[in-house]
Amino acid sequence: MKRRYCIAGNWKMNPPGAAGGLLLEMREKLDEITAVDLIICPPFTALDNARQLFQNFRITIGAQNLFWEDKGAYTGEISASMLSAIGVEYVIIGHSERRQYFDDTDETVNKRMKAALKAGLKPILCLGETESEREDGITFEVVRKQFRGALEGIEIKELKDFMIAYEPVWAIGTGKTAKPADAQEVHELLRKLLAEKYTFEFSESTRILYGGSVKPDNAEGLFRQPDIDGALIGGASLSTVSFRQIAEAAEFLTTNEHE
């Protein structure tokens, strides 16, 4: 079974200055893409504007992080209920940059997951191995541990429309993409883990995105893999041209029935 593709853009801390121009361009250039789901995750400061601009359009918005407490004396933090109150639907959780620079651990990722689900947000859970972990041959172990940690104590009934993004750290922002077959191997493992922890049906219907230097010229090869259901895109999501071309690659495969 092939799932509906999802193409998500993670703008990270971009663009500098106001994001309105890029949001408008995205709205204009992406509205004809109908056969795939599109998500844009701009910085917090642009979320409210994005929600207004994308109202009645096909693009859905997501945040890039959240804090697990609902309110209180946590200077600089944003809670799940604050995001859902302004109409945010998705939230990226456990991105490797958060793990690397802001001390996110499996435990804090789990807390963020629980907070997001409680507030009705749909998590995009990121996980993936570093270059040295891949070289040491422990990719599967690392991914398995991150998977278990993030989903500890979370039941299937809480996980509506949840997605996983497999993002090998060595491929993020480096121009080095995982070979489609290597990425597929990890996606297959994740699907097995979902089936083991939850149910086979759930594992089959949950989308697993690939992330790490996805570009228009490598997207189709990745999307052709049976367990790759779309992409989480950093750099190439900041240009309407490349973001659209990647979405078109998914649309092409959808309309050509994955031949």
* 112 and 132 Cβ atoms separated by less than 8 Å: no
* Residue 258: active-site member: no
Q: Which two tokens mark 185?
A: 């191997």
The stretch among 44-52, 69-77, 131-139, 212-220 that binds ligand PGA (CB under 6 A) is 212-220
Q: Does 123 bind ligand PGA (CB under 6 A)?
A: no
Q: Does 248 bind ligand PGA (CB under 6 A)?
A: no
Q: Nearer Cβ to ligand PGA, position 7 or 253?
A: 7
Applying CB under 6 A, among 20, 21, 120, 173 the residue interacting with ligand PGA is 173
In terms of Cα–Cα distance, which of 196, 118, 216 is closest to 159?
118
Return d(Cα 159, Cα 155) in angstroms, integer: 7
28 burial via Cβ count (<10 Å: 0-12, 13-18, 19+): exposed
At which residue do the structure tokens 């299937």 appear? 156
Residues 3-42 that bind ligand PGA (CB under 6 A): 10
The stretch among 57-65, 70-78, 101-109, 206-214 that binds ligand PGA (CB under 6 A) is 206-214
Nearest distance from C-beta of residue 209 to ligand PGA, angstroms: 9
Applying CB under 6 A, among 37, 104, 133, 167 the residue interacting with ligand PGA is 167
Whether omega before 15 lies within 30 degrees of 0, making that bond cis, reads yes
Kindly list the catalytic residues: 95, 167
